[in-house]
Chain A
Amino acid sequence: MSPAVRIPKKTRRLLTYSIAGLLILAVTLYLALPVAALFFRTTPDLFLSSLSDPLVVSALWLSLTTSVISLAIVILVGTPFAYVHARSSYPGKVIVDTLIDLPLVLPPAVAGFALLVLYGRMGLLGQYFNMLGISIAFTTLAVIMAQIFVASPFYLRQAKSLFEQFDQSYEYTARTLGASPIRTFMTITLPLTASGLISGAVMTFGRALGEFGATIMFAGNLPGVTQTMPLAVYVGMESNFNLGLTISILLVIISFLIMITVRLVTRKEVLHA
């Protein structure tokens, strides 16, 4: 039997570093190159001139307004819901937990189709709304509903976990000092979980802004009414490549800003801790 070949320590270390470096480079390039390609395919002048195109302006405006409305609804309804859900035990809680997570794994097109089956003109509930003269599908309301359905888990999961992990002795102390449950929530629980809630809200906003599959299925693609930025990219790619490029770059910039905000907020949270 031949003796085992011993690789010198220096060579082993060099090999380890080389493999680690290659891995980091490969992953970074894989993620960065497609994004960078968007910027290489246009010029600053072309980008700026496309910004004033009516298609871009209306898609940008629609995306921002619907995403802000969706986020506001998610925060206003989701925060008290997450608090009550985290602090109480009730029959079927596990099912509710699963439902909160479901939109994260459900293909967005399926989510949109499901919303259409329920709220469409001939849908299970939609037919009754239709009888009252209310149509939901293929309206701006449908855009908001699709965004809420797909993006709310980012906020709900975060809020739920924050409230579950929150040290209740702070709340108990506030109560014994004379604070009502609402005052305790507003002055103690909310400020102490704020940074986590903000990062959840920012992620929700980002997801709502980028929503495509559920929106196109449930709300359609009507310019100025339901054509959000991701839908305009899709249209632009077929008809006007530069417009698609401009909107894509805008979305990349917004996504970067979102990630930077999350980083800053969570960093602040760590410093507080």
Chain B
Amino acid sequence: MLKAEFTRTLRDFTLDLSFQVKDGEILALMGNNGSGKSTTLNIIAGLLAPDSGCIRLNSTMLCEPAEGTHIAIEDRRIGYVFQNAAVFPHLSVRDNIAYGLRARNISRPEITGRVEQMMELMHLGDLEAVKAGNLSGGQKQRTALARAIAIRPALLMMDEPFSSLDVESTIAVKALTRDIVKKMKIPCIVVTHRETDSREIADWTMVISLGKREWEGRPPDMPRNCTVCRCQ
């Protein structure tokens, strides 16, 4: 389970959020551009530090400025898929998926096993030797997801994962994401600004505006008169 409660002063407003995501649950983080969605993910990942508060993932305190706690990015066990997928273009699909496993000094036979498993799960088998720079948008997103999942993260975060995908790829990536989160029983945060994404993938939705929670609840309950929620 992820429990986050933090503040961070940004240029135009203060990001002040408190929320939790249970194991096997997907939280859709919604809001207009510049509302603080990606910053929230970056704070949880450790790329940015909060000014105050604390972030706890299962029994591990990731960050608590008052106590001087700040676990290094590489030690947080967070699978983070960026908006542009950020697949390493100079590496093959196989090497992309194996990257985190090699960085964590996992044994070779285990790396091979996990990579095979990921490629099968993400339907990437026939692309294993292809340089990731040559993949289509959907293939890149699936590779990025496979790479993030391969390290067996304790939390999965995805920043606008469907924004550059065609309809077919969007359906496929959404189904895979839901499937993985439920199977692995890990919390997941998906940043999106489309209500349809929230309805189709999330168990819970939180809408933020200028760093503050505007609304939260089950996706079908999203109020029709909420202008911030209807931001697509």
Expressed in whole angstroms, the Cα–Cα distance for A192 and B89 within the complex equals 8
Other-chain residue from A167, A177, A192, A272 in contact with B151 (beta carbon distance below 8 A):
A177
Within 8 A of B (CB), among A165-201: 167, 169-170, 172-180, 183, 187-188, 191-192
CA A188 – CA B133 in complex, angstroms?
A: 13
Chain B residues positioned under 8 Å from A179 (CB to CB)? 74, 99-100, 103
Whose C-beta in chain A lies nearest to the C-beta of B75? A178
Q: Which residues of A contact B78 (CB under 8 A)?
A: 176
Closest to A187 in B: B99
Are B82 and A173 neighbours in the complex by a CB distance under 8 Å?
A: yes
**A138 to B103 Cα, complex, angstroms:** 49
Q: What's the Cα separation between A191 and B91 when bound, in Å?
A: 10
A177 and B45 contacting across the interface, CB-CB below 8 Å: no
B226 within 8 A of A: no
Interface residues on B, range: 20 to 34
Query: Do B103 and A177 touch across chains, with their CB atoms under 8 A apart?
Result: yes
Smallest CB separation, A167 vs chain B (Å): 7
Question: B99 contacts which chain A residues (CB < 8 A)?
Answer: 174, 177, 179, 187
CB contacts (< 8 Å) of A167 on chain B: these are: 84, 86
With both beta carbons as reference points, the residue of chain B lying nearest to A179 in the complex is identified as B103
Residues on B with beta carbons closer than 8 Å to the beta carbon of A178: 74-75, 100, 103-104, 151
Are A172 and B84 in touch, CB under 8 angstroms?
A: no
CB atoms of A173 and B151 under 8 A apart: no
Q: Establish whether residues A176 and B80, one from each chain, have CB atoms under 8 Å apart when the complex forms.
A: yes
Q: Does B47 make an interface contact (CB < 8 A)?
A: yes
Distance in angstroms between the alpha carbons of A180 and B74 in the assembled complex: 7
Contact B103 A183 (CB under 8 A): yes
Please pick, from A177, A191, A192, the residue contacting B147 in the complex, using a CB distance under 8 A.
A177
B215 interface residue per 8 A CB criterion: no
With A and B bound together, what is the CA distance between A272 and B89 in angstroms?
9
The docked-state distance in angstroms from the alpha carbon of A269 to that of B104 is 31
Q: Which of A174, A177, A183, A272 contacts B133 (CB 8 A)?
A: A272
Of residues 69 through 119 on chain B, the ones whose CB sits less than 8 Å from some CB of chain A are 73-76, 78-80, 82-84, 86, 88-90, 99-100, 103-104
Q: Mark each residue of chain B from 45 to 57: 1 if its CB lies under 8 Å from any CB of chain A, else 0.
A: 1010000000000
Query: What's the nearest-Cβ distance from chain B to residue A140, in Å?
Result: 39
Residue of A nearest to B95 (CB): A187
Could you tell me if B88 and A188 are in contact, using CB atoms closer than 8 angstroms? yes
Q: Fill in one digit per residue for B186-198: 1 if any A CB lies within 8 Å of its CB, else 0.
A: 0000000000000
Please list 29 pairs of residues, one from A and one from B, whose beta carbons are closer than 8 Å in the complex, sorted by A's number: A167-B84, A167-B86, A169-B83, A170-B88, A172-B45, A172-B47, A172-B80, A173-B88, A173-B144, A173-B147, A174-B88, A174-B103, A175-B73, A176-B45, A176-B73, A176-B78, A176-B80, A176-B148, A177-B103, A177-B151, A178-B151, A179-B74, A179-B103, A180-B103, A191-B90, A192-B88, A192-B89, A272-B89, A272-B133
* Given A167-B84, A176-B74, A176-B76, 17 further pairs, Cβ under 8 A: A169-B84, A170-B86, A172-B86, A173-B144, A174-B103, A176-B45, A176-B73, A177-B100, A177-B103, A178-B74, A178-B75, A178-B151, A179-B103, A180-B103, A183-B103, A187-B99, A192-B88
